[in-house]
Structure formats: structure tokens, C-alpha cells
Amino acid sequence: MARKGPLFTLLGGGALAAVLLAASVNAAAGDDDEQQNVAGATPPTQAATTAPPPTTPPAVAEEVEPLTYVGYIDGGGASVAIVVNGTEAVAYVCNGSEIEAWFNGPAVNQELLLEAENGELIGSFDDAGAEGETIVDGQTWTFHIEHVEAPEGLYRFADTVVGGAEVEGGWIVLPDGTQVGITTVDGVPRPAPPLDPRTGEVVLEGTTVTVDRVG
Amino acid sequence: MNDMDTQAMPAANRGWQLLLVPFLVGALVSVTLGVYSNLHEGTGVAVNVAGFSGPVEAKVWLTTGALTFALLQLVSALVMYGKVPGVNPPQWIGTAHRWSGRIAFLLAVPVAMHCLYAIGFSTGSTRTLLHSLIGCLFFGAFVAKMLGLRKDGLPGWVLPVLGGMAFTGLVGLWWTSSVWYFTTFGVQF
């Protein structure tokens, strides 16, 4: 009797895992179906006319547009940008002078659990906005920020510019047109020069470079 | 006479032979979990436990629950082996040990499924890397312990060592998840 106990324990755990896996696959499939229904609004007419054979695997997930959220920390004084791309997210918190942090981590079940070298960010997001809490260099902030579209959003640059200086920069372009950013040149942080959000161009160390929007 | 031979001769060897299958199966479990969590793209969606503000909070508390029962495991094992001075192992201690272990394991399974299915193996930071590695090792060690329990004639140190590995693993998992969460964001449900 005692002999079978351990086996039952393992089988019980295995059965529980199997049930949860099946339920999770269902949950994920339900998500896919919804996306496909949205995308599948047009095909019927196509199918009725000539329609190439539907050999393309319908289950392959379509590229989901990254979601960008930006805004001020509650009470002001710093800004947050979060870009959710599928199940991964990156975030940037910056006060425009010397405090900044780059985060990354999973975005699961509309929850964020991100880590930076000098901080953490945890929160939730939906179509309209994101909210949560972040700690940077031991300082805690809360935030409630909005979903935005380009050119608002997060911009990042990291490269060696003409003259040999190592430059890293982050810019948050806010809905009111304000930009909050820091560039670190050879390890020294300073307020970032303004960026042209239409072209992504900015002058760094006397050279015009193009900065990419994250997402 | 025959009995004496088989018992006396290769005692050490026999222990290893008995351990071969539990260790192989345990290793297979660890490797499978690691490979699956690396290959399977995190879906971001998985079933979860109701009653918490989110899946992260649910996992943090389920893991804390598992750790609580694991502590009972440690205590009951010490009593069972007569290592607690002045305490005579009561008759029910074996049952208490078995059931606290089962409960701890069953609490850990949904957490692991969420990690595996919704997130996947993460090398993003030292914490998540450690957590991913220990998670794979923990379930392998647990399987080895369970299978080891079914063998007669194992050297006396085997079960305590396997149990100790599973316990240490769970503490490591709890530390790199729940403790990190509680100390970073405070105690939340």
C-alpha cells in the first residue's frame, strides 16, 4: 500500500498538470479564435468566387501590433513608457535629467512583470491604458498611463557616433508633445536633445542620427 | 546462505543499481521541462486560480503555500528519523509526512504549469534564470524521490538527500519568486 503511494502522488500531479494544460490550450485557442474571427470577416466572398486553396495554415498567429503606453508618473516628476509586443514588454522610466531605467520581462494575462538593472515594474494593461507601480533606484512610483499611437511613444538609441563617443539614449514622446529623455555619453547622463518625432532625427554630439521608435 | 551473499556482497553497487531508474526518470523530467519551456512560445494566456487580483499574485501565494507544507515535510522527516531530541515519533508521523508532501506538490503543479505554458524559460535576469533552472531541477528531484521511495534496500542517506534536494529546490523557487515579489512590491493578494 505504502509502495503505491508515491506513484499515486506522481500520477495525481501529472493528471492535474494534464488538466491544466488542456484548459490552457483551450484558453489560448479561444484567444486565437477571436483574433481570427476579426480577421476572417472578409474571406467568405473570396471563397465563393475563385479562391486559392486555403492551404496556408490558419493557426499561425498573425503579427500582433505592439501596444504602446506613455504618460507621467502619478504626481509628475518622471515619465513612463511601456511597449507590449506579444508576450514580452519593454519599458522605460525617466525623469529627464539623471534617473532612468530600462525594463524588460513577460507580459502575460495582461500583467506586466518587468525588471531593470536598477529597478522593477509591475502592472497591468488593456486596450486603453496601463497602470502599476515601479521602483527605480529604491524610489517607488505609481502610474496610470494611456495607450498612444506613433509618433507618440518610446524611442531608443544605442551606438557609437562620429567622433567615437558611445551614446545611449531614451526618449518618451508624450501626448502633449513634451519629450522626456536622457542621453548617456561615455557613461555620463544628461538631458536628451530634442528629437523630431516625425523623422526620428536628433543631433547627438554634433552629428544627426535617426532614432528608432520601439515597437 | 544465498540471502547472505546477495546482501553482503555488493551493497554499495546495489544501491546505485536501484537508484539508476529513479535518477534517469528524474533527469528526463528535468530536461523535458527545460526543453519544453524553451521551445514553447509563451502564450501569455493560461488558466488560473480565481480569488486573486492576478495570476502573478495567485502564483506567489500558491508557492508560499507549497513552502509552508514543505516546512512541515522537514519537521516531520526529522521527527520520523528520531532527530528531534525528546520527541518519540508518533504513529501518525508517516501519514503526516506523506500528506504534507502531496499537498505541497499539488500546490506547486499549477504554478509550474503557468510558468511553462504562459511564460517559458527565462534568461532575462539572474533571478529569472535561477528560477527557471531550479524549477526544472525541483520537479526532477521530486520524481526521483518518489520513485526512490518504492525501492527496498537503498542506502540510508538516499531518501534524506533526495528529499533535501527537493526541499532546497522549493526554497530556492520561493525565494526567487514570492520573496522577490513581497520585498519588491509588498504583500498583496
Cβ atoms A134, A89 nearer than 8 A: no
Q: Which of A9, A13, A23 sits opposite B47 (nearest CB)?
A: A23
Name the residue in chain B with its Cα closest to that of A105. B124
pLDDT tens-digit map of B143-160 = 999 999 988 888 888 899
Domain ranges of chain B: 16-185
* Band of pLDDT at residue B39, cut at 50, 70 and 90: confident
pLDDT for A61: 47
Chain mean position to CA A197: 19
Dihedral Cα A43, A86, B107, A19, nearest 10 deg: 20
Among the listed residues B117, B52, B134, B62, the one whose alpha carbon sits nearest the alpha carbon of residue A20: B117
Residues of B within 8 A of A3 (CB-CB) are 150
Q: What is the pLDDT of residue A186?
A: 85
pLDDT on residue A90: 94
Read off the pLDDT of each residue in B96-106 and give the average, rounded to a whole number.
Answer: 94
Pick B44's closest partner by Cβ from A2, A7, A107: A107
**Sorting pLDDT into bands at 50, 70 and 90, what band is A79?**
very high
* Range picked from A27-31, A199-203, B66-70, B90-94 for highest mean pLDDT: B66-70
Q: Is B28 on the interface with A (CB under 8 A)?
A: no
ipTM of this complex prediction, to 2 decimal places = 0.82
pLDDT (0 to 100) of residue B47: 65
| B109/A3 touch (CB, cutoff 8 Å), yes or no | no
Cα separation of A155 and A116, whole Å?
17
- Is residue A91 very low, low, confident or very high in pLDDT (cuts 50, 70, 90)? very high
Query: Percentage of chain B with pLDDT > 70?
Result: 86
Predicted local distance difference test score (pLDDT) of residue B6: 45
The rounded distance, in Å, linking the Cα atoms of A144 and A131 is 4
Phi, psi of A175 (to 5 degrees): -60, -30
Q: For B95, what's the count of Cα atoms within 13 Å in the CB-facing half-sphere?
A: 4
Query: Is the pLDDT assigned to residue B65 strictly greater than 90?
Result: yes
The three cell numbers locating residue A2: 505504502
Closest chain A residue to the Cα of B99, Cα to Cα: A9
Amino acid at B184: T
A104, A106, A109, A112 alpha-carbon torsion, rounded to 10°: -30
pLDDT tens by residue, B43-56: 655 666 777 766 77
Q: Distance of CA A57 to CAs A52, A60, B43, Å?
A: 13, 6, 18
- Top residue of A3, A9, A133 to mutate, by most chain B CBs within 10 Å, is A9
C-alpha–C-alpha distance, residues B105 and B116, integer Å: 16
Helices and strands per DSSP (H, E), number in chain B: 7, 0
B127 interfaces chain A, CB cutoff of 8 Å: yes
